[in-house]
């Protein structure tokens, strides 16, 4: 009896304490915008959680996987600030489209054999559910990189292939070469990510098929692998990398070719014409005009917009024949794939975020990230949230940093100006420094209004500090200083983020291995369910 009385007394004390503290906060605190905005955010999340808990919806008709290649956390932070500053705001308070998704997770990116990963291994993990080694595509870790004979028996089945078998429409988009590591992992099996066409393959690898050929033969290869299976092949493919599909013959050049001989293939095959022969009622496009002319009733489309990678978003206006934006390609893909009543699975990669970072050019990396967020918004606007799961993630990060002590609203691409100051802060060497920078790479370049980040490769590394007094570091052509001189900036090994919205999104929580992404897709679409 005494214990019960003590317990009751403790409970009463707690209630009185809670009540007394309810009014302890000063009105200046509770009326503060930061305070009220946080309350609103929490209320929204509570509503979302209750709705998800009551519905427990995990199955989706459609899944779109967005991959920002090289889009680490620091890239997201800097891109959101730049986006906000372009709108006339301080910048820090904003969000990229997918950062407002209700669910997120932290993703470990290491490869089986590497602490800091590459895109071949990371994308293979996301698209197949199995982690693998650096530099190999669509095969497990028992592969030996560059050895063709080790491919057989180690092939993995991807979400794209499973979706095909299930009768869903399938597609892959990239601003990189469509044969590059990340998009290639959706459809190819290769002992080396660099085997983009037959000219890239060493002697002794004749038993293996190059990546471009595997794309064109996707339907045939899948049906041969699973006898009795009837699929119709990839329904929507867009990206760069035309050279890997054309013979090494000037006669096969596209109208916008920038090289004397555009094609690289040494087997005399023209894979574009092979694809057109295989799908006579489909649409092939290679420029903006062709893209704009895609018929409303199109159900199969193949687009190759550049000899190599597509342009950086900031440089897109300089393309010889014009290229669609990532947002435009995403919108068109949803329109085409959405005609399949069974649903669809689409992978969208912004490949040039990664390339800009490798070039040490924050401007283009952040600008392409903003366009990537626009593409995600396009997907949100053109799909039904009750039937479409949207996953947004990266394959890895970069050694890209945000440092110093700049004041709120200081230009993210600018020099550090401290709180209460108007002039740039000086380092111990009496020189100003930028907020964003790189731990390694080619280092400083002042190329002014140059919008092609790859122009940096025309000269060697510039290590260490450079006098930035009088230099406009916010221009497209400015390349940040670096600590360690290398021929190209490198990936980083820390975790990246996963953002999720739609049926099954509530399962994206906590810290997960990168291969779990496949299993989220698999569960949502029931790809392996008999």
Task: Give pLDDT tens digits for 120-137.
Answer: 999 999 999 999 999 999
- Angle, to 10 degrees, between the axis of helix 326-337 and the axis of helix 362-381? 30
Over residues 313-329, the mean pLDDT reads: 97
pLDDT at 21 over 70: no
User: Do residues 340 and 327 make contact, with C-beta atoms less than 8 angstroms apart?
Assistant: no
The number of CA neighbours under 13 Å toward the Cβ of 488 is: 13
pLDDT at 2 over 80: no
Amino acid 52: pLDDT = 64
3-state DSSP call for residue 485? Answer: strand
Amino acid 22: pLDDT = 56
Q: How far is CA 15 from the centre of its chain?
A: 50
The CA-based angle 521-527-529, given to 5 degrees, is 125
Q: Is the dihedral of CA 85, 502, 156, 307 positive or negative?
A: negative
Over residues 93-111, the mean pLDDT reads: 97
3-state DSSP call for residue 281? Answer: coil
pLDDT at 145 over 60: yes
Q: Is the dihedral of CA 270, 275, 277, 283 positive or negative?
A: negative
pLDDT at 93 over 70: yes
Contacts of 63 (CB under 8 A, 6+ apart): 159, 344, 345, 346, 388, 389, 390, 391, 521, 524, 525
Amino acid 4: pLDDT = 44
Contacts of 42 (CB under 8 A, 6+ apart): none
Least reliable range by pLDDT among 24-33, 130-139, 334-343? 24-33
Among 276, 287, 209, residue whose Cα is nearest residue 244? 209
Q: Quote the tokens at residue 31.
A: 């009326």
User: Do residues 240 and 304 make contact, with C-beta atoms less than 8 angstroms apart?
Assistant: yes
Least reliable range by pLDDT among 104-108, 323-327, 503-507? 503-507
Share of the chain above pLDDT 90, in %: 88
User: Do residues 425 and 97 make contact, with C-beta atoms less than 8 angstroms apart?
Assistant: no
Amino acid 64: pLDDT = 99
User: Do residues 377 and 329 make contact, with C-beta atoms less than 8 angstroms apart?
Assistant: no
Among 504, 478, 472, 495, residue whose Cα is nearest residue 385? 504
Q: Quote the tokens at residue 406.
A: 């700049």
Amino acid 530: pLDDT = 56
Q: What are phi and psi of 10, to 5 degrees?
A: -60, -45
CA atoms of 271 and 273, how far apart (whole Å): 5
H or E stretch covering 397:
strand 397-398
Residue 492, strand partner residues: 397
Q: Which residue has the tokens 């601003």?
A: 175
Amino acid 50: pLDDT = 74
User: Do residues 171 and 235 make contact, with C-beta atoms less than 8 angstroms apart?
Assistant: yes
CA atoms of 359 and 352, how far apart (whole Å): 10
Over residues 3-30, the mean pLDDT reads: 57
Task: Give pLDDT tens digits for 351-393.
Answer: 999 999 999 999 999 999 999 999 999 999 999 999 999 999 9
Q: Where are the alpha helices (DSSP H) in 56-188?
A: 73-86, 119-128, 159-166, 181-184
Sheet holding 62-68, edge to edge: 283-285, 301-304, 236-240, 169-177, 344-350, 62-68, 388-394, 496-501, 103-108, 511-513
**Residue range(s) in the chain whose domain bears CATH number 3.40.720.10:** 61-399+490-525
- Burial pattern 469-484, b for ≥16 Cβ within 10 A else e, equals eeeebbebbbbbbbee
Over residues 223-249, the mean pLDDT reads: 97
Amino acid 382: pLDDT = 98
The 3-state secondary structure of 286-338 reads CCHHHHHCCCCCCCCEEEECCCCCCCCHHHHHHCCCCCCCHHHHHHHHHHHHC
Q: What share of residues in the chain are helix, strand, coil (percent, to 5)?
A: 35, 20, 45
CATH number of 61-399+490-525: 3.40.720.10
Least reliable range by pLDDT among 42-46, 193-197, 457-461, 511-515? 42-46
Identify the band that residue 19 occupies on the pLDDT scale cut at 50, 70 and 90. Answer: very low
pLDDT at 467 over 80: yes
pLDDT at 419 over 80: yes
Q: Quote the tokens at residue 267.
A: 């087997």
Least reliable range by pLDDT among 51-65, 168-182, 312-326, 506-520? 51-65
CA atoms of 148 and 201, how far apart (whole Å): 9
What radius of gyration do the chain's Cα atoms show?
25
Positions marked catalytic: 119
Which letter does DSSP use for residue 465 in this model? -
CA atoms of 349 and 489, how far apart (whole Å): 20
Identify the band that residue 7 occupies on the pLDDT scale cut at 50, 70 and 90. Answer: very low
Amino acid 53: pLDDT = 63
Residue 139, strand partner residues: 155
Task: Give pLDDT tens digits for 182-215.
Answer: 999 999 999 999 999 999 999 999 999 999 999 9
Contacts of 100 (CB under 8 A, 6+ apart): none
pLDDT at 95 over 90: yes
What average pLDDT is seen over the chain? 94
């Amino acid at each position: 009896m005494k214990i019960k009385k003590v317990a009751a007394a403790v409970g009463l004390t707690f209630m009185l304490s809670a009540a007394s503290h309810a009014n302890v906060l000063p009105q200046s605190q509770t009326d503060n915008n930061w305070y009220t905005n946080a309350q609103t955010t929490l209320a929204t999340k509570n509503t979302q959680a209750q709705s998800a808990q009551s519905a427990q919806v995990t199955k989706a008709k459609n899944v779109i996987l967005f991959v920002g290649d090289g889009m680490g956390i620091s890239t997201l932070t800097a891109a959101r600030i730049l986006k906000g500053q372009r709108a006339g705001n301080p910048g820090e308070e904003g969000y990229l489209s997918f950062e407002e998704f209700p669910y997120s997770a932290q993703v470990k990116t290491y490869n089986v054999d590497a602490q800091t990963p590459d895109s071949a291994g990371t994308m293979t993990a996301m698209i197949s559910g199995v982690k693998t080694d650096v530099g190999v595509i669509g095969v497990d870790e028992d592969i030996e990189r560059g050895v063709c004979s080790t491919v057989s028996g180690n092939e993995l089945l991807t979400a794209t292939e499973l979706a095909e078998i299930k009768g869903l429409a399938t597609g892959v988009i990239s601003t990189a070469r469509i044969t590059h590591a990340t998009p290639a992992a959706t459809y190819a099996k290769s002992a080396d990510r660099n085997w983009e066409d037959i000219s890239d393959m060493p002697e002794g690898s004749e038993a293996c098929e190059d990546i471009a050929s595997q794309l064109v033969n996707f339907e045939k290869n899948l049906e041969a692998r699973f006898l009795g299976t009837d699929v119709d092949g990839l329904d929507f493919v867009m990206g760069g990398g035309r050279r890997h599909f054309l013979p090494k013959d000037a006669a096969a050049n596209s109208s916008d070719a920038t090289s004397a001989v555009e094609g690289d293939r040494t087997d005399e095959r023209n894979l574009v014409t092979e694809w057109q022969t295989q799908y006579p009622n489909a649409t092939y496009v290679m420029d903006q005009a062709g893209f704009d002319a895609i018929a409303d009733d199109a159900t199969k489309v193949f687009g190759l917009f550049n000899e190599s990678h597509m342009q950086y978003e900031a440089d897109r206006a300089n393309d010889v024949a014009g290229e669609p934006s990532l947002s435009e390609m995403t919108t068109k893909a949803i329109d085409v794939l959405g005609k399949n009543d069974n649903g669809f699975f689409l992978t969208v990669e912004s490949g040039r975020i990664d390339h800009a970072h490798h070039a040490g050019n924050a401007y283009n990396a952040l600008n392409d990230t903003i366009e990537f967020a626009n593409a995600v918004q396009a997907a949100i606007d053109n799909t039904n949230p009750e039937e479409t799961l949207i996953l947004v993630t990266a394959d890895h990060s970069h050694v890209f940093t945000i440092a110093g002590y700049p004041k709120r609203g200081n230009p993210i691409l600018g020099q550090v100006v401290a709180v209460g100051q108007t002039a740039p802060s000086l380092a111990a060497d009496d020189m100003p420094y930028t907020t964003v920078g790189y731990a390694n790479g080619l280092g400083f370049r002042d190329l002014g209004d140059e919008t092609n980040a790859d122009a940096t490769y025309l000269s060697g590394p510039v290590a260490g500090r450079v006098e930035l007094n009088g230099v406009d570091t916010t221009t497209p052509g400015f390349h940040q200083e670096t600590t360690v001189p290398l021929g190209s900036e490198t990936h980083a090994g820390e975790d990246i983020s996963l953002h999720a919205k739609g049926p099954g999104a509530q399962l994206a929580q906590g810290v997960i291995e990168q291969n779990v992404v496949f299993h989220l897709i698999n569960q949502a679409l029931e790809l392996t369910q008999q």
